[in-house]
Chains A and B, each alone.
Chain A
């Protein structure tokens, strides 16, 4: 299935969860937040929320700023 992660197209196995995506991207869990189609996914639901075809995913972390 096709999803968009941080604005970039990605092809994922059907049934990939948020947890699976973070694993694939090697993003640490601490201080990370995820939103799928503008809705924030609570950390407690990473393992259960399955991504769907056409989903738009945002994966954010703290970066340098003022």
Chain B
């Protein structure tokens, strides 16, 4: 079936799965998982280098000509920290896309939406392609779009929880509320979660732990690729309507008569 590309701030991607680079048991497993996922965008954190800086780097295992690196602002608790981190990433040569996180609480890692809006405004004004990680609140999603976000990325469940899409109805309402792409970011635990996100009509799914913490991350990466594609196809195909009672699939006429 013909499908359009995912467009983020004018950049086009045929894959609708964005994957992370954290928590892998080895860089080689990560590289293989990336390959199997079919992803074209991989997220990275911006952190102090361990000194001296000649050790192994994840960048030795990511072909930066093939993958677009998406720096995040994970670990930032204020708009100011997040904005500074985005500038550092841009100065490091990671481009102008940023997965914007402004965290409000360390236990749930839920976003501080006030700080998130502030940072989105600042970075969008300065030419960044802002991809904010947000909660599943349609009003906040709308405000982020108004603030200049290129996409909105509501959580399905807390980061790293693997609980799945806990509020599909809110995700559905967000899809009806904003014109920018909607990418579910965080909460996916297994393939069916990714499929559900896509079946709802989401434009993409971002995940890290669901792949990295699977027993076989390479196999799970492939499962996620297939799930995102399956969910997307199902969404485009348009599902049948749900009915409470059965409707026979076989003709009711022409049933042989066995009565004596």
- A contacts, CB < 8 Å to B: 5-8, 22, 25-28, 30-35, 38, 40-43, 58-66
Contacts and interface: CB of A to CB of B under 8 A. Distances in A.
A6 B74 contact: no
Contact of B43 (A26, A31, A66): A66
Question: Which of B21, B71, B91, B206 has the most CB atoms of chain A within a 10 A radius of its CB?
Answer: B91
Contacts, number: 117
Query: What range describes how many residues of B lie at the interface?
Result: 35 or more
B49 interface: yes
B160 to A, nearest CB: 8
Interface string B181-198: 000001000000000000
A28 B49 CA distance: 10
A64 B88 contact: no
Interface of B: 20-24, 30, 43-49, 51-54, 57-59, 69, 71-72, 74, 84, 87-89, 91-94, 159-160, 186, 206-209
Given A42-B91, A64-B21, A7 B48 contact: yes
A64 B52 contact: no
The 9 A-B pairs with the shortest beta carbon distances in the complex, nearest first, are A65-B45, A66-B208, A66-B20, A27-B53, A62-B44, A33-B92, A6-B48, A64-B22, A63-B47
Contacts of A59: 48-49, 51, 53
A58 B84 CA distance: 12
A62 B73 CA distance: 11
B43 A61 contact: no
Given A31-B92, A31-B93, A62 B59 contact: yes
A35 B87 CA distance: 10
